[in-house]
C-alpha cells in the first residue's frame, strides 16, 4: 500500500522492528517507516484484540500507538526515527511507565 519515491537519496538510520533490523531514511516518522516495511498492524485493541494500523498520520486518531524504546502508548506518527531505535507492536492497553 505504501512505498517510497524511487529516487530517495536521504541519509539512512537502522531501527529494529519486532526483532528485525530495518534501514530507513532519516527524518521519516516511525509510522511511515513501519507502514512501508510491514503492511500489517501497529497495535491491537485492549478489549477484542483486533489489529489496528496508522490512520490519520497527524496525531489525531491514536491508532498508531506502539512501544518505542520500551515506552508504550507512543504515537508512531509523531516520532521521528533515529539510529538504534527499538520498535514493537503494542498489544492491548499500554503499561504505565
Domain boundaries, the chain: 12-91
Q: What pLDDT is stored for residue 24 in this prediction?
A: 93
What is the reported pLDDT for 45?
93
* CATH of the domain spanning 12-91: 3.10.20.440
Q: Which of the four pLDDT bands, split at 50, 70 and 90, describes residue 42? A: very high
The pTM of the full predicted model, rounded to 2 decimals, is: 0.87
pLDDT of residue 40: 83
The answer on pLDDT for 10 being more than 50 is: yes
How far, rounded to the nearest angstrom, does the alpha carbon of residue 72 sit from its chain's CA centroid? 12
Higher pLDDT, 54 or 6: 54
Average pLDDT, whole number, for the chain? 90
CA distance 23 to 3: 14
Residue 14 has which C-alpha cell? 537502522
Report how far residue 90's alpha carbon sits from residue 92's, in angstroms, rounded to the nearest whole number. 6
Tell me the three cell numbers of residue 80.
521521528
For residue 23, pLDDT over 60 is answered with: yes
In whole angstroms, what is the distance from residue 51 CA to residue 82 CA?
A: 26
> Quick one: residue 23, left, alpha or beta (phi over 0 = left, psi -120 to 50 = alpha)?
beta
Q: What is the pLDDT of residue 15?
A: 98
pLDDT at 1: 62
Amino acid at each position: 500500500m505504501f512505498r517510497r519515491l524511487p529516487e530517495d537519496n536521504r541519509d539512512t538510520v537502522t531501527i529494529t522492528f519486532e526483532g528485525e533490523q530495518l534501514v530507513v531514511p532519516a527524518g521519516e516518522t516511525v509510522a511511515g517507516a513501519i507502514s512501508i516495511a510491514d503492511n500489517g498492524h501497529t497495535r491491537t485493541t485492549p478489549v477484542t484484540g483486533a489489529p489496528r494500523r496508522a490512520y490519520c498520520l497527524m496525531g489525531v486518531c491514536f491508532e498508531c500507538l506502539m512501544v518505542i524504546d520500551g515506552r508504550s502508548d507512543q504515537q508512531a506518527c509523531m516520532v521521528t526515527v533515529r539510529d538504534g531505535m527499538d520498535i514493537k507492536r503494542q498489544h492491548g492497553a499500554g503499561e504505565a511507565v
